[in-house]
Amino acid sequence: MAEAVQARSSSKAPSKIRGAIVRFAGDSGDGMQITGSQFTSTAAMLGNDLATFPDFPAEIRAPAGTLYGVSGFQINFSSDDVFTPGDRPDVLVAMNPAALKTNLAALKPGGLLVANSGAFSAGNLKKAGYAENPLDGDSMSAYQLLSIDISKATLLAVAESGLSTKEANRCKNFWTLGLMYWLYNRPLEPTLRWLDQKFKKTPDVLAANAAALKAGHAYGETAEISHERYDVPPAVHEKGTYRNISGNQATAWGLVAASQLSGTGLVLGSYPITPASDILHELSRHKNFGVTTLQVEDEIAAACTAIGASYAGKIGVTTTSGPGMALKMEAIGLAVSTELPLVVINIQRAGPSTGMPTKTEQADLFQALYGRNGESPVCVIAAATPGDCFYMAIEAVRLATKYMTPVILLSDGYLGNGAEPWKIPDVSSLPKIEVKHRTEVEGFHPFVRDPETLARAWAVPGTPGLEHRIGGIEKSFDSGHISYSPENHQKMSETRAAKIAGIANDIPELGIEEGEASGKLLVLGWGSTYGSIREAVRRSRARGLSVSQAHLRYLNPMPKNFVELLSRFDKVLIPEMNMGQLVKIVRGEHLIPAESYAKIEGMPFTVDEIEQRISQLVEA
């Protein structure tokens, strides 16, 4: 038998550690996402810094026990700053053989493996492709194995609830959560409170889940485990009130906030698509903010309803993911040509084509910048963390309405579904967004421009005296009427480009996130790679390497000091979850010989990967 943890009484005080990485893995039906998010809530409330990574199967409800039906949730919680969900877990909870099979390789050598031996039936072993039960024999000897029949223990614990065996069995995730709470010395109350709320209407289920939670905790407490317990003290956080927030929720709330801050109603036109649908779902719950959400027939209609709403004076927004983005391009071109504000949000996923809808990627940057016919410049920005989505959504609205232009906000599946503790901002500290609808008749034509921003007038239907016609045909700079004049087309093309380029004067300069303002190596990122890069740069610096981090939130236009900042470093490394897109732009526009670190596995970078690449470059 493997070097299993012996069952004996243990009443030692927990030892203090900085943090830990725990991964819950089980069947889609095992409730791992709930377990993970409860563990997360409790950790957050205890003041840990943390980051999470949910990893769903593509299937809605894959058949039980299959490899592709495994659902995972990883959390990295700590008393230090946390920037990523962590590379390899310290603890792996495997609720069945398939979960073990697909996740074991990630577990740190010597890490703790909690396995629900009750699910290691012959049938499940076969489905997972195990010829023999891996919990028997020596194959787990590289880990600390804690093999418990959680299924049975759960049934025992909830016996009195009156639930059917099937229902009772569903409580085993709470049993497991209880055990994990014991291991990390966490209180049960937050989860008990949550259960109270959630199962108000089904008291028997409520009672059973609570009993399971307590039993799992008691199992560790009273009985029988030789394993150490740990304490992860709170992190030093800035003062304030915090909450957990996922990227998609933050995006939705950012849009609500922008609507409030601008005093302008918001109309979302959307068509469901993984992993963007949750923004539609979330926004549709906040109609009392004057938000209208339309689920329409496809992505083209979604973009078009948003454009129609913008034309009518509202904030038109459309949300989607890669394939849907491809479909919106013609309509976005219309918004470019008619110079209407439009916020387009792309929660990127792995491509090409349908690709891997539940996996993350950053490969739609080129598409955002260049995916339309003709010279069709738009503003492109990207969020760096789940919480950052809130601010970047506000920024998207601010820029779109101020410059009368489409703004594409790039997020991705990792940001959208991932969550982090987030300091709730004071509403009064948020930027005001000044929306001007023209009413002055004197001197009006639809393409009369603000000389500073180059934005055209936003004259909305219903305004007497400003009746006008717009369309996608080229327009005269001087009157807004249709024009086929060669010189005018040149002038209008240049004006559209200059308008977008001018946004550089209205955005923050690129700062250094970590490290000195000059040195051997700058690691430049954009989007969801923020956390991995940050942590890797920190660790490298701790090892004495001369490396700094900068992170682009504005991809078009880029911050004014971009070239200057990059030129202060000997080398620039650009890690991207694609085949190297930003890097081409940096080279093409600025002739800076940046190096690409491209990874396209549908998964975020691990900190390790980036750290190694840094070492190679700095130590070379």
Partner 1 sequence: MSNVVPTRNLTRADFSSDQDIRWCPGCGDYAILATVQRTMPELGVLPENMVWVSGIGCSSRFPYYMNTYGFHTIHGRAPGIATGIKVANPDLTVWMVTGDGDGLSIGGNHLMHCLRRNVDINILLFNNRIYGLTKGQYSPTSETGKITKSTPMGSTDNPLDPVVFALGCNASFVARSIDVEAKHLGQMITRAANHRGGTFTEIYQNCNVFNDEAFEAFRAKDVKDERQIHLEHGKPLLFGADKRKGLRLDPKTFKLSVVTLGENGMTESDILVHDETNQTLAYMLARMPFPQFPVALGVFYAVEGETYNARTEQQVNFSVDKQGKGDLTKLLNSGETWTV
Ligand X SMILES: Cc1ncc(C[n+]2csc(CCOP(=O)(O)OP(=O)(O)O)c2C)c(N)n1
Binding residues for its own copies, per CB under 8 A?
A: 58, 68, 321-323, 325-327, 329-330, 333-334, 336-338, 348, 350-356, 358-359, 361, 363-364, 366-367, 369-376, 471-474, 484, 486-487, 489-490, 493-494, 496-497, 578-579, 584-585, 587-589, 591, 593, 599-603
The number of residues that bind partner 1 (CB under 8 A) is 97
Residue 44 interacts with, from ligand X, partner 1, ligand SF4, none (CB under 5-8 Å by kind)? partner 1
Using a 10 angstrom Cβ sphere, with 0-12 exposed, 13-18 middle and 19 or more buried, the burial of residue 227 is middle
Among 324, 387, 418, 602, which residue interacts with ligand X (rule: CB under 6 A)?
Answer: 324
Q: Which two tokens stand for residue 42?
A: 């409790």
Residue 497 interacts with, from ligand SF4, partner 1, ligand X, none (CB under 5-8 Å by kind)? none
Instruction: Provide DSSP, 103-152.
Output: HGGGSPTT-EEEEEGGG--HHHHHHTT-SS-TTSTTTTTTSEEEEE-HHH
> Is residue 14 close enough to count as binding ligand X by CB under 6 A?
no
Residues constituting the chain: 620
Min CB(28)–ligand SF4 separation in Å: 11
Residue 481 interacts with, from ligand SF4, ligand X, partner 1, none (CB under 5-8 Å by kind)? partner 1
Site string for partner 1, 174-213 (x = CB under 8 A): ----------------x---x-------------------
Interhelix angle 32-45/172-183, nearest 10 degrees: 30
CA-angle at 576, arms to 570 and 578, nearest 5°: 135
Site string for ligand X, 375-404 (x = CB under 6 A): ------------------------------
Is the C-alpha dihedral spanning 356, 359, 363, 364 positive or negative? positive
For ligand SF4, give the closer residue by CB, 471 or 593.
471
Interacting positions 263-292 with partner 1 (CB under 8 A)? 265, 267, 269-274, 277, 280-281, 284-292
3-class DSSP state of 510:
coil
> Is residue 355 close enough to count as binding ligand X by CB under 6 A?
no
What are the CA-CA distances from residue 321 to residues 304, 318, 531, 599 (Å)?
16, 10, 22, 20
**CA–CA distance, 330 with 324 (Å, rounded to integer):** 12
Among 330, 474, 506, 516, which residue interacts with partner 1 (rule: CB under 8 A)?
Answer: 330
For partner 1, give the closer residue by CB, 338 or 596.
338
Min CB(169)–partner 1 separation in Å: 15
Interacting positions 301-320 with partner 1 (CB under 8 A)? 301-314, 316
Interacting positions 255-274 with ligand X (CB under 6 A)? 271-273
Among 8, 9, 13, 60, which residue interacts with ligand SF4 (rule: CB under 6 A)?
Answer: 60
Residue 322 interacts with, from partner 1, its own copies, ligand SF4, none (CB under 5-8 Å by kind)? its own copies
For ligand X, give the closer residue by CB, 66 or 274.
274
Q: From its phi and psi, is residue 398 left (phi > 0), alpha (psi between -120 and 50) or beta?
A: alpha
Residue 442 interacts with, from partner 1, ligand SF4, its own copies, none (CB under 5-8 Å by kind)? none
CA-angle at 360, arms to 355 and 364, nearest 5°: 70
Min CB(63)–ligand SF4 separation in Å: 10
Count the alpha carbons within 13 Å of 2 in the hemisphere toward its beta carbon: 21
**CA–CA distance, 517 with 313 (Å, rounded to integer):** 43
Interacting positions 345-364 with partner 1 (CB under 8 A)? 353-354
**CA–CA distance, 339 with 337 (Å, rounded to integer):** 5
For ligand SF4, give the closer residue by CB, 59 or 619.
59
**N-term to C-term CA, the chain:** 46
For partner 1, give the closer residue by CB, 62 or 607.
62
Min CB(400)–partner 1 separation in Å: 15
What are the CA-CA distances from residue 368 to residues 295, 414, 418, 556 (Å)?
23, 18, 23, 10
| Neighbouring residues of 467: CB distance < 8 A, sequence distance ≥ 6 | none
Interacting positions 269-298 with ligand X (CB under 6 A)? 271-273
> Is residue 61 close enough to count as binding ligand SF4 by CB under 6 A?
yes
Residue 543 interacts with, from ligand X, ligand SF4, partner 1, none (CB under 5-8 Å by kind)? none
Instruction: Provide DSSP, 192-221.
Output: HHHHHHHTTT-HHHHHHHHHHHHHHHHIII
Min CB(508)–partner 1 separation in Å: 23
For ligand SF4, give the closer residue by CB, 67 or 192.
67
Among 22, 34, 50, 62, which residue interacts with partner 1 (rule: CB under 8 A)?
Answer: 62
> Is residue 413 close enough to count as binding ligand X by CB under 6 A?
no
> Is residue 323 close enough to count as binding ligand X by CB under 6 A?
yes
Q: Which residues pair with 176 in a beta bridge?
A: none
The residue among 142, 219, 154 whose CA lies nearest residue 183 is: 219
The residue among 214, 305, 298, 223 whose CA lies nearest residue 6 is: 223
**CA–CA distance, 603 with 39 (Å, rounded to integer):** 22
Interacting positions 13-52 with partner 1 (CB under 8 A)? 41, 44-45, 47
Q: Which of these segments, 88-96, 114-122, 140-148, 299-307, binds partner 1 (CB under 8 A)? A: 299-307
Residue 267 interacts with, from ligand SF4, ligand X, partner 1, none (CB under 5-8 Å by kind)? partner 1
Long-range contacts of 351-354 (CB under 8 A, 24+ apart): 351/322, 351/323, 353/323, 354/323
Q: Please provide residue 514's backbone torsions phi and psi, each rounded to the nearest 5 degrees.
A: -155, 130
Residue 293 interacts with, from partner 1, ligand X, its own copies, none (CB under 5-8 Å by kind)? partner 1
Min CB(280)–partner 1 separation in Å: 5
Residue 398 interacts with, from ligand X, ligand SF4, its own copies, none (CB under 5-8 Å by kind)? none
| Neighbouring residues of 270: CB distance < 8 A, sequence distance ≥ 6 | 276, 279, 280, 293, 294, 295, 296, 302, 318, 319, 320
The number of residues that bind ligand SF4 (CB under 6 A) is 2
What are the CA-CA distances from residue 377 to residues 299, 510, 594 (Å)?
21, 21, 24
Min CB(332)–ligand X separation in Å: 13
| Neighbouring residues of 288: CB distance < 8 A, sequence distance ≥ 6 | none
Q: Which residues bind ligand X (CB under 6 A)?
A: 271-273, 299, 323-324, 327, 354
Q: Please report, as ranges, the residues that interact with ligand SF4 according to CB under 6 A.
A: 60-61
